[in-house]
A and B are shown apart, each in its own frame.
Chain A
Amino acid sequence: MSPLKRTGIAEPLLMPGPDSPWSRVRQSMAWHGHVVVHASWRDWLPAAIADPQLRPLLGARDWQRLNNLADPEARDRFAASRLLVKYTAGAALQTPPETVELASKAGGRPYLRGCDQIEVSLSHTRDLLVVGLNRRGRVGVDTELADRRIQYSAVQRHLCTPAERRWLGALDEAEQQRRLVRTWTLKEAYTKALGQGMRMGFTQFGFDAEAATLLTPQGEPASHGEWAFATFELDGGYLVGVACHDAGLRDEGDTAVSTMLDEGFLGEVVDLVGRVPH
């Protein structure tokens, strides 16, 4: 794996199964405020299929969704992706994976129901699963095949701002392809972080040639440092784009569920509930 440019984003961690070193997830959350993990869904398959706990681990709703999937490969990938999210979020929240519920909001954005100390994003392409978590703000991850061919002349008006067309247009074809896929991956990651998926027009915002800075369509800086971006090349020819937001609240870095409910408030309410006559 090679980071294409040094940024504020931590390198993705390989987590090939339930027995992965999950302390690294906690460490990354503590140090960087976020974590990106990746795995091949095939590596998680033995766990997904063999685990007699799969049903409680998935929860009623995802179990039902799994059983509604007709295609066996789609079922396996779905089960593996849910397990990866639950183990990763469980590590960050310091709680057993089966207690974590992945849900989606009205607009489709995934979230950990009841645990808004962490934002979540997921993506997959071919065999690769990617999960991003962030405790400082929104997060979006996207993955594409690095050698994906996109015909620049056909898509430039839909995918690129005028400023991007200026620098892309000046490159030779190979380099143009490479940078176009990178920019596209990042655009997907950013719109997922905003919870909008494909609903946000890709010409409404742009990136610089280094794929690190958010720009207006005219090429002016569009963020005051609250966003960080990076793209990574993983083994197997995958490209991963990450967009990370920092709401600037300078929290204490504690995302554990066990400490979430303030001892004073909780104690007082538990006490009173015990005493109130019903």
Chain B
Amino acid sequence: MTETAVRVADPDVRRRAERLEFRFGDPCDPANPLGFRALLAADGSSELLSAAEELLDEEGFGAELVPVALGGRLRDADQLMRMLRPVFRRDVALAFGYGITSLFAAAPVFAAGSPRQRESVAKLLVAGGRAAIVHRSLAHGTAMLRGELTAMEYSGGFVLDGRKDVVINAERAGAVVAYVRTDPAPGPASHSVFLLDPAQLPDDGVRLLKRQPTTGMRGCRFAGYEFDECEVPGDALVGELGAGVRLALRTFQLNRTLITGAVIASVDTVLRAAVRAALAGETLGRRQRGVLAGVFADLLAGDAMATAVLRALSLLPGAAHLAAAELKYLVPDLLRDDLEELATVLGAGGYSRDTDQGMLTKLLRDLPAAGLGHAGTASCQAVVIPQLPALARHFWGREAEPPGVLFGAAESVPHLDIGSLEVAGGGDFLAASLTAVAARLAGSVPEGPYGEALRTMAAAFHADLLALREACLLIEPGDRAVLASPATAALADRHSVLSAAGAALARWEHHRRGAGFLADPAWLVLALHRYGRRLGLTLPPLPPDCVDRVAEELLARFRAGRSFDLHDAPLAEAGTP
């Protein structure tokens, strides 16, 4: 079945994503066995919706997670994102439990595994199987990250010990990728990655632990493993001994970018429900328009940042790590605030459509479980903060801007090579974009109120980057006590907002001469205004029709059943394609 599906799959990802979207059907139709009502019912009984998993099997979704060179359909991360959004807009837990976590498990194998290891994992995923990931114990970790495995070298192989209680898909994994402590000393060489085949492990060496109920992503099956003097062959090691932390740093940037970019579609669902509520209750007053347009602007700007990083993974594999960590640090936090704002519109006017409310509360439960909480941000801060002193000294204000293709959706980027992703260095391409766009806007004659607003705001963001540089120049590189201080964490917080502003400005500039809503500066001005408030900047007031222009586009897309992201893609709500 899957073999056939892979062979007949449309080579055009846009059409493939559209096909998946329409095969899922209108999510609001209460009779749709793959709709919100059915998904909520499955969540209520702590299972994934089996009909939805069957559809993804039929579509050969596993092949989307495997690089083209290994027989799959994964060309680059930006394309994979298009395939993820139809799933994420319906159910984050389905996306995690069905498959995206298999890619996160497989990534270190694709990056550093032997040809045999890569082929075996690729074959497993293409055939619809799953790979489970056993993380190491992380600082400020949640239950999901607690506990870890250890390994000792023993007559050509290794002996594994230890337990991990919370592993997604532990019960049905055809491969297990484990970050295992191989050196008791703390530091970067402490861990190594192992690829294990559960069917080949000695019976008395490993025990499957019982399923753990969770507050979020209730439908996913989290269980655990306990290893007890479990002998594994020497060729289970992935890459070099002691390379585990670096492999995690290299591959996590892929996870971070994909999750954050895909969650934009999950918030699309709640924004759509809020628009429906506002229209149904005839409560689309000034306040509601402001909330709805503001969230829409956040989604577009967040997608601009996500898309730039997704494309950077192919185009600038040596530099994407910084922006990936910034993206994951900032955008989920903005989206969580957006969801709470939307709740005020959804609950107003006595409106209650149980599936809409249900999808909102489900998403608020699911997002923290999807790693979008403090444990997630802390590991991003560990990537960003140590780089700030060097960026201030060598890059900000001096670096050439990245190639324009980074911000152009129509042009394709090179194939993703997970093995080429780096961990540090490579500069700060979003800061470089901010500097370059601000300079161009400063030198141009402003066109009307929007030109003036953009020029002022870009200048304010750029000035903040310079202030940030002054502050970061005072930090001695490698001074861990200063790095691990709230004052430095606050600088990283500001830097993430400036990166997002740089991505949004560059995206708009790239499209300003084109057709469609992305050329309209209204969404950009509104989004930048929100970023500026978070930075505490003094900004000029919004042009008087700014909110209305963004709200009009939002309503037009709502009525036409089109997505609230950069793609403006048709959705199943629109009826037959």
Contact = CB atoms under 8 A, between A and B. Distances in A.
A104 B393 CA distance: 29
B344 A272 contact: no
Nearest to A223: B361
A264 B140 contact: no
A151 interface: no
A268 B337 CA distance: 33
A272 B424 contact: yes
Contacts of B365: 226, 248
A250 B143 contact: yes
B15 interface: no
A168 B249 CA distance: 57
Contacts of B481: 258
A250 B348 CA distance: 32
Contact of A106 (B186, B337, B348, B374): B337
Contacts of B144: 249
Nearest to B373: A249
A223 B488 CA distance: 37
Contact of A217 (B187, B350, B395): B350
Interface string B329-354: 00001100100110110011010000
A114 B425 contact: no
Contacts of B344: 194, 196, 199-201, 204
A251 B146 CA distance: 9
Contacts of B246: 268
A233 to B, nearest CB: 29
Nearest to A225: B215
B374 A269 contact: no
A27 to B, nearest CB: 19
Interface residues of B, number: 77
Contacts of B386: 261, 266, 269-270, 273
A199 B285 CA distance: 13
Interface string B468-479: 000000000110
Interface stretch (B223-231, B444-452, B528-536): B528-536
Interface stretch (A16-24, A92-100, A142-150, A176-184): A92-100
A269 B387 contact: yes
A270 B480 CA distance: 9
B46 interface: no
Interface string A244-278: 00011111101101111111111111111110101
A101 B490 CA distance: 7
A113 interface: yes
B196 interface: no
B46 to A, nearest CB: 13
Contacts of A234: none
B79 to A, nearest CB: 29
Interface in A101-155: 101, 103-107, 109, 112-117
Contact of A114 (B350, B375, B381, B383): B381
Contact of A269 (B143, B377, B424): B424
A105 B496 CA distance: 13
A248 B424 contact: no
B341 A107 contact: yes
Interface string B484-512: 11111111111000000000000000000
Nearest to B488: A114
Nearest to A109: B337
A232 interface: no
B385 A106 contact: no
B574 interface: no
A107 B298 CA distance: 12
Interface string B377-405: 11101110111011001110000000000
Contact of B478 (A200, A247, A261, A274): A274
Contact of B140 (A205, A259, A266): A259
A103 B493 CA distance: 11
Interface residues of A, number: 56
Nearest to A263: B186
Contact of A260 (B136, B139, B186): B139
Contacts of B489: 113-115, 257, 260
Interface string A66-109: 00000000000000000000000000010100011101111101
B493 A113 contact: yes
A111 to B, nearest CB: 9
Given A263-B139, A268-B245, A269-B382, A105 B488 contact: no
B424 A262 contact: no
A252 B137 CA distance: 11
Contacts of A204: 344, 347-348
A195 interface: yes
A250 B486 contact: no
Given A250-B143, A251-B374, A262-B138, A99 B188 contact: no
B456 interface: no
Given A249-B142, A278-B393, A260 B214 contact: no
A261 B215 contact: no
Contacts of B75: none
A251 B141 contact: yes
Interface string B271-298: 0000000000000000100000010000
A201 B281 CA distance: 14
Nearest to B385: A261
Contacts of A166: none
Contacts of B81: none
Contacts of B390: 273, 276, 278
Nearest to B212: A250
A100 B542 CA distance: 31
A107 B486 contact: no
A106 B533 contact: yes
B368 interface: yes
B373 A259 contact: no
A61 interface: yes
Given A265-B382, A271-B188, A247 B215 contact: yes
Given A103-B536, A272-B423, A113 B494 contact: yes
A179 B477 CA distance: 57
Given A254-B140, A263-B187, A271-B188, A114 B490 contact: yes
Contacts of B492: 114
A278 B490 contact: no
B130 interface: no
A253 to B, nearest CB: 10
Nearest to A216: B352
A247 B487 CA distance: 26
A269 B423 contact: yes
Given A114-B493, A194-B343, A265-B245, A249 B369 contact: yes
B483 interface: yes
Nearest to B351: A204
Task: List the 4 closest pairs (A to B, CB-CB), nearest first.
Answer: A114-B489, A248-B215, A276-B425, A268-B188
Interface of A: 61, 93, 95, 99-101, 103-107, 109, 112-117, 194-196, 199-201, 204-205, 217, 226, 247-252, 254-255, 257-274, 276, 278
Given A248-B368, A260-B381, 4 more contacts: A262-B378, A264-B190, A269-B386, A278-B395
